[in-house]
Amino acid sequence: MTQVVVIDYGMGNLHSVSKALEAVSVSETITVSSDLEVIKKSDKLVFPGVGAIKDCMEAFSVDLKETVLEEVKRKPTLAICVGMQMLLESSEENDGVEGLSILDGTVTKIQSSKEIKVPHMGWNQVKFLKDHPLLKNIDDSSFFYFVHSYCCLSSKDALTETTHGERFISSLAKDNIFAVQFHPEKSQTAGLELYKNFLDWSV
């Protein structure tokens, strides 16, 4: 039986993510855990995050950070929202925060105006740049739900893009890692399909 662990480091909407995964699970076991041995024994990982990136980075214990860095590099991993941003090189949020540098790209503040509200909150279209197994049975330009004030504008790992004033990267993919700026657990049918694809994904 496939063991999927939602990493609990004290930050992230763990309950809603795990419930959405359970809703589309057929035979997988969904566990929320910070236990290093549970994470090491998992088959797949989900790396969530909400709030300020500095708080998320500081929430990691040294041992948990080392374990996550090692396991994320070799197992199918889905990173969500600030979880995605943490996998990038750096963020200008909180006067500058170093990321984990697993994915290419940096995070910058969304530019606001009279027409463009920050945070970017609500439904927006996700335009596909490439094919990927996690986008299976999801229509190009489908709507997903976003809540964020910072974004990645450019990355060689870019998979989809979204426009809120300017175009930004709404998901990235590299080898065994798939990372999204939006919240699949808040995105109804399309979001559940993405979670189902993640559970079906073999790398």
Q: Does the active-site annotation cover 58?
A: no
Catalytic residue chosen out of the listed positions 81, 120, 151, 152: 81
Residue in the block written with tokens 């070799």? 74
Burial of 78 by CB count in 10 Å (0-12 exposed, 13-18 middle, 19+ buried)?
buried
183 is catalytic: yes
Collapsing DSSP to helix, strand or coil, 86 comes out as helix
Residue of 28, 161, 185, 193 marked catalytic: 185
How far apart (Å, rounded) are the C-alpha atoms in residues 78 and 28?
A: 15
The answer to whether the beta carbons of residues 80 and 180 sit under 8 Å apart is yes
Residue of 143, 141, 145, 146 lying closest to 128 (CA atoms) = 141
Tell me if residue 185 is catalytic. Answer: yes
User: Catalytic positions, please?
Assistant: 81, 183, 185
